[in-house]
A and B are shown apart, each in its own frame.
Chain A
Amino acid sequence: MKKSNDREVATPHLAEEWVGKVYTFICILFLIITIFSMVYFVASKGLSTFIVNGVNVKDLLTGLKWKPDGEPALFGALPFIFGSFSTSILAAIIAAPLGFCAAVFMIELSPKLGRTFMQPVIELLAGIPSVVYGFVGLSVIVPLFRNLFPGQGVGIAAGALVLAFMILPTITTIATDALASLPAGLKEGSYALGATRWQTIYRIVLPTTLPAQMTGIVLGIARAFGEALAVQMVIGNAPHIPHSLFESTSTLTSAITLSMGNTAMGSVQNNALWSLALILMLMTFVFVFIIRWLEGRKKL
């Protein structure tokens, strides 16, 4: 309680201001330096394949044969690019309906059970190390596919299924947030018009949250695209475009992790792997732009 009516004179917080400013500035500087040096490193390494070793960009992007040790050395990365896209998109196709249904269950059908039990469990999936996913894939999914389908069980199907589990938390969390932020009036209006719960979900909830759902799916694809270890364990790693979903093939990441440690820095074999990493990074940029574009459309 103030005794006088005088306005309290604010003591200047100069020191605090300064500390806060400097602290923030240092953090941002650190972040920017890290990002730029990383981009520079990958780009300079990845481009040296073309500049120093004289590999044709077109050959790398469209060639079908990957033989860095061969005579002559061939650097055709199309099988890897194909493998990366097909596994991550197939993973999203598997995970997207699951994620949406889980979100609907948690928000619309059974919020209590969903919020207290389902959500923590699904978020737990995100904390499991990828080598565990890979090992489970190798021990459960690969033998299962080997018994059910022709082929050896490894391949795009096994990789996509493992990845689907890995990206499920991302897709579910974003779908849940989208459903939760939906204005209540929209749903109530729909009910008031006599729509059933199912009609409301697929005529109102799904279309209005679709842009946000898409953001989640693209984020999931981006994560699947960059995942290395789990995929490497179940995909078989033959550098060829497969004839079926159950035939050994490679992704960009699995090709990099398989050979990066075995090749000496600066050799053409090593530089070619950095070119694959550069392709990965550029694809990640593309995904980020897609996400930003989707975010921009999200306004209801």
Chain B
Amino acid sequence: MKKSLIVTMALTLSLSLAACGNNNTNNGAKNGNAAATNNATTNNTASADLSGSILAAGSTALQPLVDQVSKEFMDKNSGVSIQVQGGGSGTGLTQVSEGQAQIGNSDVFAEEKLDADKAAELVDHQVAVVAMAAVTNKDVGVDSLTKQQLVDIFTGKVTNWKDVGGKDEKIQIVNRPSSSGTRATFEKFALGTKTEDLQGSIQEDASGTVKKLVSETPGAIGYLALSYLDDSIAAVKYEGVEANVDNVANGTYPVWAYEHMYTKGEPDAATKAFLDYMVSEDVQGDQGDVVEMGYIPVSKMEVKRDAQGAVTK
């Protein structure tokens, strides 16, 4: 009994040691491989020769799209392995800036989260557009809100729906945390001002939770990406403009943001091929993943916007 125990222990130990050894040699081999294929790809850019592993981390809003596209890309390029992680825009930008991830997914421009010199090292790849709409519980009876009305609601000046044309009911704000990229976009382009977390307001980060709370709480108002809109909640027009793909694309609906995939400097061959695939017609076209999953293709946009928020046709 005792002997067998010790034998097991010794075995485990030696196995774990062996595993360590193995790992090392594997890593060595992998590095060697990567170096070799890097050389190969510079000479010959045929997709069959691509290999390497890519880590894409960051924005949870962009994660489902990157995840699905990465699977298709791996089917076509068996030598490449892509891992997609969430963690939030800040995490994605930090990791790509520090070199832990090859791609950093973000809802916001890097300049808004990182120091200027760190942000300058990153190369922006805009892969999709996400638009947001203010949504309310179905019982409030408000169809359209102006910018000023939204500001009054989110700063607590208006606390009852009857003051903005709805029925007599207390307004319940379902907001995002102050660090959220979604909230930053909404405040910047819908409200035009930063707001404080009010006493009694609800802050949730996950879009699913926000949707559930808005649909169940009487008098609730929140905001969601267009892909989350359905019959359980009421989408509100902004200044009389309905939130839909066409209005976003032609610039009449202003509450939208790019989804960014940042790389540090110019990407290596495999990462570059993946990012090229991301903006290819297969993904961005009418039948592609971008449209299917409720994002708006970048190619469809008739207006452009820079990091300072200035819009150009």
Segment at the interface with A among B23-31, B173-181, B266-274, B289-297: B173-181
Q: Which of B158-179 contact A (CB under 8 A)?
A: 172, 177-179
Cα A103 to Cα B194 with chains together (Å):
53
Count of chain A to chain B residue pairs whose CB atoms are closer than 8 Å in the complex: 116
Segment at the interface with B among A66-74, A195-203, A289-297: A66-74
B146 at the interface (CB under 8 A from A): no
Q: Are B201 and A248 in contact (CB under 8 A)?
A: yes
Which residue from A70, A240, A247, A265 sits with its C-beta under 8 Å from B94? A265
Cα A265 to Cα B194 with chains together (Å):
22
Q: Are B199 and A238 in contact (CB under 8 A)?
A: yes
User: Nearest Cβ distance between residue B2 and chain A, in whole angstroms?
Assistant: 8
Segment at the interface with A among B6-14, B36-44, B298-306: B6-14
Q: Are A143 and B216 in contact (CB under 8 A)?
A: yes
- Scoring A residues 53 to 77 as 1 if CB is less than 8 Å from chain B, else 0, what string do you get? 0000000000000111110000000
- Scoring B residues 93 to 113 as 1 if CB is less than 8 Å from chain A, else 0, what string do you get? 110011000000000000001
Do A19 and B6 form a contact, CB below 8 Å, given A68-B178, A236-B203? Answer: yes
Q: Are B217 and A152 in contact (CB under 8 A)?
A: yes
Q: Are B203 and A258 in contact (CB under 8 A)?
A: yes
Do A266 and B94 form a contact, CB below 8 Å, given A237-B203, A238-B203? Answer: yes
A154 at the interface (CB under 8 A from B): yes
Q: Which of B133-159 contact A (CB under 8 A)?
A: none
Cα A266 to Cα B114 with chains together (Å):
9
**Which residues of chain A come closer than 8 Å to B98, judged between CB atoms?**
265
Q: Which of A135-180 contact B (CB under 8 A)?
A: 138, 143, 146, 151-154
A262 at the interface (CB under 8 A from B): yes
Q: Are A67 and B199 in contact (CB under 8 A)?
A: no
- Scoring B residues 64 to 75 as 1 if CB is less than 8 Å from chain A, else 0, what string do you get? 000000000000
Which residue from A26, A143, A152 sits with its C-beta under 8 Å from B172? A152
Cα A87 to Cα B52 with chains together (Å):
48
Which residue from A23, A67, A238 sits with its C-beta under 8 Å from B200? A238
- Scoring B residues 46 to 68 as 1 if CB is less than 8 Å from chain A, else 0, what string do you get? 00000000000000100000000
- Scoring B residues 181 to 212 as 1 if CB is less than 8 Å from chain A, else 0, what string do you get? 10000000000001011111111110001001
A interface bracket (residues with beta carbon within 8 Å of B): 35 or more
Q: Are A264 and B93 in contact (CB under 8 A)?
A: yes
Do A261 and B200 form a contact, CB below 8 Å, given A22-B13, A70-B194, A269-B179? Answer: no
A270 at the interface (CB under 8 A from B): yes
| Number of B residues, CB within 8 Å of A | 41
Q: Which of A165-219 contact B (CB under 8 A)?
A: none
Q: Which of A59-115 contact B (CB under 8 A)?
A: 66-70
Cα A93 to Cα B201 with chains together (Å):
27
User: Nearest Cβ distance between residue B207 and chain A, in whole angstroms?
Assistant: 13
* Cβ-closest chain B residue relative to A139: B212
Q: Are B201 and A238 in contact (CB under 8 A)?
A: yes
Q: Are B217 and A238 in contact (CB under 8 A)?
A: no
Cα A248 to Cα B91 with chains together (Å):
27
**Which residues of chain B come closer than 8 Å to A19, judged between CB atoms?**
6, 9-10, 13
**Which residues of chain A come closer than 8 Å to B194, judged between CB atoms?**
69-70
**Which residues of chain B come closer than 8 Å to A118, judged between CB atoms?**
none
- Scoring A residues 247 to 277 as 1 if CB is less than 8 Å from chain B, else 0, what string do you get? 1101000000011111111110110000000
User: Nearest Cβ distance between residue B160 and chain A, in whole angstroms?
Assistant: 15
* Cβ-closest chain B residue relative to A246: B200
Do A259 and B178 form a contact, CB below 8 Å, given A248-B201, A267-B113? Answer: yes
Cα A20 to Cα B7 with chains together (Å):
10
Q: Are A237 and B177 in contact (CB under 8 A)?
A: yes
**Which residues of chain A come closer than 8 Å to B13, judged between CB atoms?**
19, 22-23, 26
User: Nearest Cβ distance between residue A25 and chain B, in whole angstroms?
Assistant: 11
A233 at the interface (CB under 8 A from B): yes
Cα A259 to Cα B88 with chains together (Å):
9
Q: Are B180 and A262 in contact (CB under 8 A)?
A: yes
Do A240 and B199 form a contact, CB below 8 Å, given A68-B178, A266-B94? Answer: yes
**Which residues of chain B come closer than 8 Å to A269, judged between CB atoms?**
179
Q: Which of A1-44 contact B (CB under 8 A)?
A: 16, 19-20, 22-23, 26
B309 at the interface (CB under 8 A from A): no
Q: Are B88 and A238 in contact (CB under 8 A)?
A: no
B254 at the interface (CB under 8 A from A): no
Q: Are A258 and B217 in contact (CB under 8 A)?
A: no
Q: Are A67 and B196 in contact (CB under 8 A)?
A: yes
**Which residues of chain B come closer than 8 Å to A242, judged between CB atoms?**
199-200
Q: Are A69 and B178 in contact (CB under 8 A)?
A: yes
A239 at the interface (CB under 8 A from B): yes
Q: Are A247 and B90 in contact (CB under 8 A)?
A: no
- Scoring B residues 205 to 236 as 1 if CB is less than 8 Å from chain A, else 0, what string do you get? 10001001100110000000000000000000
Q: Are B90 and A237 in contact (CB under 8 A)?
A: no
Report, nearest first, the 3 A-B pairs whose CB atoms are least far apart. A261-B88, A237-B203, A262-B179
* Subset of 23 A-B contacts with CB under 8 Å: A19-B6, A23-B13, A67-B196, A69-B179, A152-B202, A236-B203, A237-B202, A240-B197, A240-B198, A247-B200, A258-B177, A258-B203, A259-B177, A259-B178, A261-B86, A261-B87, A261-B90, A262-B88, A262-B181, A263-B113, A264-B90, A265-B90, A270-B90
